[in-house]
Amino acid sequence: MILCADVGNTNIVLAAYRGEELIFTSRLKTDSTLTRDQYAVELHSLLEVYNISPDEFTGAIVGSVVPQLTTVLSQAIEMSLGCKCIALASGIKTGLNIAIDNPAECGADLVAEAVGAKNHYPLPVIVVDMGTASKIVAVDAKGNFIGGSILPGMRTSMNALIGSAALLADFEFDTPKHAIGKNTVDCLRSGSVLGFASMIDGMIERFKKELGTDASVVATGGLVHYVLPSLKTKMVYREDLVTEGLRIIYEKNN
């Protein structure tokens, strides 16, 4: 069994695989103040919840967009599981040609989700990832990662708006029945959920035009399920796309 850790700005997603089978997936809050030992304790507690022994693991991989946690979590995993943990970085085999201006700038999450999409869906493929940031990336018909777009995340942008406008209060995301809201909360839901859905539809249309052909579209990320019912674009939702990509990358390096 191997452990895949996707370290994001808000959450750390942990997924255990036995071969290609996903055994469990769980989320921890990203906290850069925690030490190696504290994360090791968190991991031990998590394995107890799923009744899994650390001895069952033969390896692990970390993909991180929080540099200060990459080594901390890697060491915590090695302490907890007693196996080697590799970090997705330059020099790691991915099977993905990153055809952008500076491949070293490409985030580990973007590489992993592109690898996952490339290995499971018809090419070309577009990936929509909605988390702290909203990211859209493209893999062309030859399997090259050719770039993408980074936008504010839905929660990130609405928090910024509410924090800057005295008369706006926090609200829960939900699919509005109408685009024209009749009260402040419905207006905020319309602007966030339907606004982001329209933005994603428009961006995907632009991506396909630049690709010069139709493309598969895959959605992932913690916030994407809020907008899925409102999207006009047909797409597949895969929750474990990033950790599946990490699993594939681990296998290529072992």
pTM: 0.94
CATH code of domain 97-244 = 3.30.420.40
| Res 90: pLDDT | 86
Instruction: Let me know if 23 is exposed, middle or buried by CB neighbors in 10 A (0-12, 13-18, 19+).
Output: middle
Q: Active-site residue among 6, 109, 129, 140?
A: 109
Q: What is the pLDDT along the chain (254 residues), one digit of tens a residue?
A: 999 999 999 999 999 999 999 999 999 999 999 999 999 999 999 999 999 999 999 999 999 999 999 999 999 999 999 999 999 998 899 999 999 999 989 999 999 999 999 999 999 999 999 999 999 999 999 999 999 999 999 999 999 999 999 989 999 999 899 999 999 999 999 999 999 999 999 999 999 999 999 999 999 998 999 999 999 999 999 999 999 999 999 999 98
Q: Which residues of 187-208 are buried (b: 16+ CB within 10 A; e: fewer)?
A: bbbbbbbbbbbeebeebbeebb
Q: Is 109 a catalytic residue?
A: yes
H helices of the chain, in order, are: 36-49, 67-81, 108-120, 154-164, 184-189, 195-211, 224-227, 241-252
State how far the Cα of 170 lies from the Cα of 122, in Å rounded to an integer. 40
Domain extent listing, the chain = 2-87, 97-244
CATH code of domain 2-87 = 3.30.420.40
> Are 61 and 249 contacting, i.e. CB atoms less than 8 angstroms apart?
yes
Please check whether the two domains, 2-87 and 97-244, share a CATH topology. yes
